[in-house]
Amino acid sequence: MELFLRSMRHCFAQFNEFPVNVLYQYSDMRYQDGYSKLAWLSDFPKNVNMVKEISFQGDLIELLSKRNPYTVFFVDDMVWKERFSLKGGNFSSFTNDPDVLCLSLRLMRGLQYCYPLDTFNEMPRFDYENKWFWQGLVGDYGYPMSLDGHIFRTGDILDMVRSFKYNNPNRLEAKMALNPLHERQKMVCCDISPVMNIPLNIVQTSWNNRHGSLSSLNLNKRFLSGERISTENIYGIKNSSCHQIIDIKFEQYG
pLDDT of residue 209: 73
Contact 235, 229 (CB under 8 A): no
**Structural domain for 29, as ranges:** 2-252
Q: Which of 67, 73, 58 is nearest to 162 (CA)?
A: 58
Whichever domain contains 57, its CATH number is 3.90.550
Backbone φ/ψ region at 110: left (φ over 0), alpha (ψ -120 to 50), beta = left
CB 195 within 8 A of CB 3: no
Within its chain, how far is the Cα of 149 from the centroid? 4
Count of structural domains within the chain: 1
Residue segments in the chain with a per-residue pLDDT below the cut of 70: 204-205, 207, 210-212
Q: Kindly write down the DSSP assignment for every residue of 36-51, as one continuous string.
A: HHHHT-TT--TTEEEE
pTM for the whole structure:
0.94
How does pLDDT run across 237-254, given as a tens digit for each residue?
999 999 999 999 999 997
pLDDT digits (tens, 9 = 90+) for 90-99: 999 999 999 9
Determine the Cα–Cα distance for residues 124 and 143; give it in Å rounded to an integer: 12
Q: What is the pLDDT of residues 31-42, one digit of tens each?
A: 999 999 999 999
195 DSSP assignment: E
Measured between alpha carbons, how far apart are the two ends of the chain, in Å? 16
